[in-house]
Amino acid sequence: MNTPRLHSRSLGALFLLPFFAYGIGTALVTSVLKEPEHLAVLAGQRTPFVVGALLLLLNSLMVVGIGVLFFPILRERSPSVALAYVCTRVMEALVLTVGVVFLLCILQLGESARGQTTPELVTLLELLSKGNFWAYQLAMIILGVGSVAFCLSLYRSRLLPSLLPLVGAVGYGLLALGAVLELFGLPWGILFSGPGGLFELFLGGWLIAKGFRTVTPSVAA
């Protein structure tokens, strides 16, 4: 199997760019929502909020792109894993998009406040913020659970150094566990997401710099 360098570099870029898109988008949105009691001023901060939300949507599109570009690579070794991984990335993107919808509802809520901030409005804002939080954690559970088989398939294919996909399988498992703990009120998600995040960063850099190994079916068997 010989994956074109452009294909592998595109995949590498899609693993790296979402970190910037989601990170910057989250920072912009959070900067506006850092003081829920000032709901009425949201209308005056529409631009950074909308830009942040658009970056979060861009992240969702790139997530789907990862699954689509990996499909022909995985299909040669395991069609079922290839299809499952595409579905995993699509479901992740859809749930993340639901989270963005919650954020846009917050913006609409702020614009309808008309300079007034009532306890009811603040409570509704907090519920919508929580909805975005829950959507993110659910997306991470989907990504973590669905990507373990993906990493094991990469390990069997020998397209990457053996240690890399094994680290990825463990990292994604921990990511899903951390998200479950977050849903139960245990703030360990960031700690548990570290290995999976580092795997994606390293995988993206590896694909850009070196690409996939050339492996013939007879050697991989």
- pLDDT one-digit tens code per residue, 159-210: 899 899 999 999 999 999 999 999 999 999 889 999 999 999 999 999 999 9
- Ramachandran sector of residue 186 (left: φ over 0; alpha: ψ -120 to 50; beta: rest): beta
Question: Letter for the amino acid at 8?
Answer: S
Question: Both tokens of residue 137?
Answer: 């954690």
Distances from the Cα of 205 to the Cα of 168, 171, 201, angstroms = 14, 17, 6
Q: If pLDDT is split at 50, 70 and 90, which confidence band does 113 have?
A: low
- Whole-angstrom Cα distance, residue 188 to residue 182? 6
Question: Both tokens of residue 22?
Answer: 């989601």
Half-sphere exposure of 176 (CA within 13 A, CB side): 15
Distances from the Cα of 133 to the Cα of 28, 54, 75, 119, 185, angstroms = 16, 17, 34, 21, 12
> What residue ranges do the domains of the chain occupy?
5-210
Q: Give Cα 36 to chain centroid, integer Å.
A: 26
pLDDT in tens, 53-112: 999 999 999 999 999 999 999 998 899 999 999 999 999 999 999 999 999 988 888 777
Cβ contacts of 102 within 8 Å, gap of 6 or more: 128, 129, 131, 132, 135
Is residue 98 within 8 Å of residue 60, measured between CB atoms?
no
Whether residue 218 has pLDDT greater than 60:
no
- Whole-angstrom Cα distance, residue 134 to residue 137? 5
Q: Which of 142, 202, 201 is nearest to 172 (CA)?
A: 142
pLDDT in tens, 114-171: 666 677 777 888 899 899 999 999 999 999 999 999 999 999 988 899 899 999 999 9
Q: What is the pLDDT of residue 122?
A: 77
Give the three-state DSSP class for 164.
helix
pLDDT in tens, 16-56: 999 999 999 999 998 887 765 556 666 667 888 899 999 99
Question: Both tokens of residue 171?
Answer: 């990292």
Query: What pTM was estimated for this model as a whole?
Result: 0.89
Cβ contacts of 198 within 8 Å, gap of 6 or more: 171
Q: What is the pLDDT of residue 106?
A: 85
Q: What is the mean pLDDT of the chain?
A: 88
